[in-house]
Amino acid sequence: MRKWVVLVVVLATTAGACSGANPSSGQEAYMRVQSAQFISGGIDTTTQGKLPIVSSVSTQSNALWPGEAGKSISGSVGPNSTAVLLGLLGDVGYWVMPVGDPDVNTTGNFTFSCKVSFSPLTPTGDGGSLTLVARATDKNGNVGPAYLVSQTMTAVRPDGALVISLDWDTQADLDLHVVLPSTDAGVNEIWSRKASGLPIGTPGATVDDAKAAGYLDFDSNSQCVLDGRRVENVIFPTTVPDGQYIVRVDTFSLCGQVDAQWRVRVFTQGAASPILQAFGESTDTDTRFPHGQGAGVQALVFNYNQ
């Protein structure tokens, strides 16, 4: 089952918006806006007046995915609009930036544009439907009517008989490690340098064989080459070995971030909610340990029996 979330985009004056500004970088916010100032506290969406208006809002596509980075939001606001506030409804704060150049397509209007990222940990409800709300204000603090845009939060969790998923909230390089049930062949661990549960050196093995044995779908932010995904899954498409599984989270690098809040979830075929989940925090201390097989802090241990 997919999730519901409401995204709020509000436009207002710089002077009014900066009142009570919090010096925080906004790293704790679920929605983050590049080159904008973070203001602590929720956004007021109460109707206040008829002017100034929002003429248009463009999001390039009406789909979002948890952990997405670099999402473009732009639009046009009416005469006398002077700044833009951007925030996620229910978030810990919002963001403010001035409007841009005059809109060459509409006399008297001004443009706005920004890049937005969404934490994989953003709390949502059910369904996946999103509502983007835009409002404009002028230098006197007059707030215009809301402009609504429908969006959808798409599911990023792949389907499978068993899916073990790691996601995190900052542009760090975290790695998912899954130790499979023990066999006579010894420890069998899926991670970025051994992305399949198929034993090494299996004669005649094909790519399909490797995937069928369980596989890691993606090494996100590898070596701090940032992709914005911040989600890694170990997937067992159809057959799952019975026995004990150990799930670890290795903090390869924080890539200049202060920390990273992470979440591990375990899903079975067709399940809307995880059967297990665990939460943790990566700090600089976690980067100092070895990063090979067996690395990382233990997040979950569970037994699986079909």
At which of 153, 183, 199 does a domain end? 153
Instruction: Please give the pLDDT value at position 284.
Output: 97
At which of 153, 187, 202 does a domain end? 153
Residues in CB range of 68: below 8 A, 6 or more apart: 117, 118, 228
Instruction: Please give the pLDDT value at position 277.
Output: 92
Instruction: Please give the pLDDT value at position 3.
Output: 29
3-state SS record for 239-282? CCCCEEEEEEEEEEECCCCCCEEEEEEEEECCCCCCCEEEEEEE
Residues in CB range of 78: below 8 A, 6 or more apart: 51, 52, 53, 54, 55, 108, 109, 136, 144
Residues 135 and 255 in one domain: no
Q: Domain limits at 85?
A: 3-153
CA–CA dist 2, 99 (Å, integer): 34
Residues 235 and 272 in one domain: yes
Instruction: Please give the pLDDT value at position 1.
Output: 30
Residues 168 and 147 in one domain: no
Instruction: Please give the pLDDT value at position 118.
Output: 77
- Mean pLDDT by runs of 10 across the 306 residues of the chain is 35 35 66 87 82 85 71 90 80 84 96 84 63 82 80 72 92 96 86 93 87 94 87 94 97 95 91 87 96 96 92
The tokens for 282 are 């990566």
Could you give phi then psi for residue 39, rounded to 5 degrees?
Answer: -120, 125
Residues 130 and 173 in one domain: no
Instruction: Please give the pLDDT value at position 23.
Output: 42
Listed residue (191, 177, 236) closest to 212, CA to CA:
236
Residues 145 and 10 in one domain: yes
Residues 186 and 250 in one domain: yes
Q: How many domains does the chain fold into?
A: 2
Residues 195 and 94 in one domain: no
Residues 117 and 224 in one domain: no
Residues 145 and 116 in one domain: yes
Residues 211 and 288 in one domain: yes
- CATH at residue 110: 2.60.40
At which of 85, 118, 153 does a domain end? 153
Instruction: Please give the pLDDT value at position 156.
Output: 60
